Amino acid sequence: MTKVQQAESACRAAAAAVREPDDIPASEAVRLYETLERAGRAIAASKTLLAKRVAASEQWKRTGYGSAAEHLAQISGRSLGAARSELETSDALTQLGATKDALLDGQVSEAQGQIIANAATVNPEAERNLIKKAQRTNHQELREEAQKAKAAADRDPAATHRRIHADRRLSRHTDAEGAWNQHARGTIADGSIISSELDRLTDEIFRARGKAGTRECRDAYAFDALVEMARRSSGLRHGDASDRKGTRRLNAPQHLALLRLDISALWRGYVEGDELCEITGLGPIPVEVARERLGDAVLKLIITKGVDIASVTSLTRGPTQAMHYAKLWTSPTCTVEGCTRTIVEYDHVHGAEYKDTRHTRLDEIERCCHTHHDLHTLHGWALVAGEGKRPMVAPDDPRHPANAPPPATGPPADAGAEQADLFTAANP
């Protein structure tokens, strides 16, 4: 107990040291923040481990709370949902030694630990891979990987899908500040329909506001897209000229939702091993649901026997439609490791710029967000050599392609190397 009290005193002293953050030299701010983050992670891990003992003490019963979670929420000043998650993680860590060690060592944060524990409880074999993923990617990608791990361990994904559908719900309320809030929960298959249209309208609004010189966060545009979707559903489009009846009804083009599906899984009726059956950017769905959705006009389909996609070459700067679908398969978001932005543009990789090659080839382009595209184009940054998600580094980084040693001479590579089959469905 004395050590814990000493730690509390040290934490209070650290807080006092940054009471006036403007007095901290800017050159020291990042290092100090990282130090405080490590300390915070250690304390948060200790609290999480202790949570189940707080529940076991049953003091919450003697102090008038309805549950241990309510008691923890009151002590910590957090939401009831956050307290429940902490308790669930605390219980799970009894069987998840690697996650427990990663939390105590500061390798993962409290929030990351909760995601990992939630998935590893269902799929223990995924525990170490998720810990490694947490150390090199962002929160959203870790959630997606955890979701895939849980789906892989689900012995009856169709039953899970039906259960989630039966429990579907949408709630709305006005908060204390007077703001309108909405929360929805349902299947990924149904959510993809909503997400696809929201993404399309969000991109449309982003481009229109950008031309007008307005810059706001994507979440703000997504809310505007939700409002616009409701307007269009009622037959009205904000700011548009009226038709002869006084309203303008639209037949807006549908946004692309990409269903990624291994052909073997389609034939078999379920996935095995590393096979995929998922809607890009949202997550896995049962194969039987995919079969039902194949005729749906909001979906385009890519069926493959593997991850690699055959090279295609164009003499234009931009990618062909086939390249576009191929890149959606391999890179649903920005290619840069840790970036999950979905508003992207096609970027020729270092050493294969269009101004030099005068062609566009599938293996020489990547999908990058505006920020990373500008870092490459204007400041010389580049993706490290490789495929898939990977870091983008500054020109002085030893991993930068310009700093790589010259390739070793040798016999030419086998031009007939086997490539994966790619098949795209007809336009809807």
Domain boundaries, the chain: 2-153, 186-255, 257-304, 313-403
Q: pLDDT tens digits for 181-202?
A: 999 999 988 998 898 889 889 9
- Confidence at 294, pLDDT banded by 50, 70, 90: low
Does position 251 have pLDDT exceeding 50, yes or no? no
Top mean pLDDT of 25-39, 89-103, 323-337 is at 89-103
- Confidence at 307, pLDDT banded by 50, 70, 90: very low
Using CB atoms within 10 Å of the CB of residue 182, give its burial: 0 to 12 exposed, 13 to 18 middle, 19+ buried.
exposed
CA distance 51 to 211: 51
Report, as an integer, the average pLDDT of 69-79: 88
- Confidence at 60, pLDDT banded by 50, 70, 90: confident
Q: Between 121 and 285, name the one with better pLDDT.
A: 121
Contact 349, 382 (CB under 8 A): yes
Does position 243 have pLDDT exceeding 50, yes or no? no
Looking at the chain, how many residues does it have? 428
pLDDT of residue 289: 82
User: What percent of the chain lies above the pLDDT cut of 70?
Assistant: 81
- Confidence at 257, pLDDT banded by 50, 70, 90: low
The mean pLDDT of the chain is 79
Using CB atoms within 10 Å of the CB of residue 150, give its burial: 0 to 12 exposed, 13 to 18 middle, 19+ buried.
buried
User: Do β-strands 299-304 and 257-262 pair in parallel, antiparallel, or remain unpaired?
Assistant: parallel
Other C-beta atoms lying within 10 Å of the C-beta of residue 393: 18
pLDDT of residue 413: 47
pLDDT of residue 303: 57
Q: Between 58 and 14, name the one with better pLDDT.
A: 58
Does position 102 have pLDDT exceeding 60, yes or no? yes
User: What percent of the chain lies above the pLDDT cut of 90?
Assistant: 22
CA distance 257 to 301: 9
pLDDT of residue 80: 85
- Confidence at 314, pLDDT banded by 50, 70, 90: low
Other C-beta atoms lying within 10 Å of the C-beta of residue 194: 13
Tokens of 376: 């490459």
- Confidence at 418, pLDDT banded by 50, 70, 90: very low
CA distance 249 to 232: 7
pLDDT of residue 125: 92
CA distance 92 to 117: 6
pLDDT of residue 108: 92
Report, as an integer, the average pLDDT of 262-269: 80
- Confidence at 116, pLDDT banded by 50, 70, 90: very high
Report, as an integer, the average pLDDT of 63-78: 86
Q: What's the DSSP call for residue 280? A: T
Share in percent of the chain as helix, strand, coil (round to 5): 50, 10, 35
List the end-to-end C-alpha distance of the chain, in Å, as a whole number: 66
Other C-beta atoms lying within 10 Å of the C-beta of residue 17: 13
CA distance 15 to 24: 13
CA distance 134 to 129: 9
pLDDT of residue 308: 42
Report, as an integer, the average pLDDT of 141-159: 87
Does position 238 have pLDDT exceeding 60, yes or no? no
User: Do β-strands 344-348 and 257-262 pair in parallel, antiparallel, or remain unpaired?
Assistant: unpaired
pLDDT of residue 171: 87
Report, as an integer, the average pLDDT of 406-421: 47
CA distance 261 to 304: 7
- The region, left, alpha or beta by phi > 0 then psi within -120 to 50, assigned to residue 353 is beta
Does position 426 have pLDDT exceeding 70, yes or no? no
Does position 85 have pLDDT exceeding 70, yes or no? yes
- Of the candidates 253, 258, 326, the residue with the CA atom closest to the CA atom of residue 293: 258
pLDDT of residue 186: 94
Does position 148 have pLDDT exceeding 80, yes or no? yes
